[in-house]
Amino acid sequence: DTSSFYNVVIMSACSPNDTSNKVSLTVNAVPIITTAPVNQTACSGSIVSFNVIASGTGLTYHWRKGNVNLVNGGNISGATTPTLTINPSTILDAALNYNVIIAGTCAPSDTSINVSLTINSAPIITTAPVDQTACSGSSVDFNVIATGNGLTYQWRKGNVNLVNTGNISG
């Protein structure tokens, strides 16, 4: 129905007819999210971005953490754009309920699903291995305690990785 050529012709028993000027009709579209944001997992200190794609007329964006509106400043930017950026991310940014409200010229607004941000921390040795003294032929255990996400361990002798063979295990 969008057009810039609408007009009316007025007729009567007497001539001539009268024709109005041309007028236009613009149809604005309601906001619709076409690509929703997705869950993110990142290491503490890294850059995290949430993205949304929407269609509609006169779109405005407002990112939230739960029901709390986010504002630009500190490590938050893009709070009113299609891309929310958190730089650097910290454990305090972790949440299960990031979302964006998209409003437009026409109501109603569209709100995205809640998405999560999981922040993994770097490994930290909390209890280091200690020196050992042993008699030849006896067993020796080195132990370490660490915190972090998805930890794996690789023991080394100098710069050479040890492997589970012969008298080496663990």
Q: Please report the DSSP string for 79-90 in residue order.
A: TTSSEEEESS--
Q: CA 148, CA 120: separation in Å to the nearest integer? A: 7
CB atoms within 10 A of CB 158: 5
Both tokens of 80, joined, read 């009113």
Give the closest residue to 67 by CA, choosing from 97, 36, 37, 93. 97
Asked if 100 and 61 count as a contact pair (C-beta separation under 8 A), the reply is yes
* Alpha helix stretches (DSSP H) within the chain: none
In the block, residue with structure tokens 């949304």: 52
Asked if 84 and 112 count as a contact pair (C-beta separation under 8 A), the reply is no
Per-residue pLDDT of the chain (170 residues; tens, 9 = 90+): 889 999 999 999 999 999 999 999 999 999 999 999 999 999 999 999 999 999 999 999 999 999 999 999 999 999 999 999 999 999 999 999 999 999 999 999 999 999 999 999 889 999 999 999 999 999 999 999 999 888 999 999 999 999 999 899 99
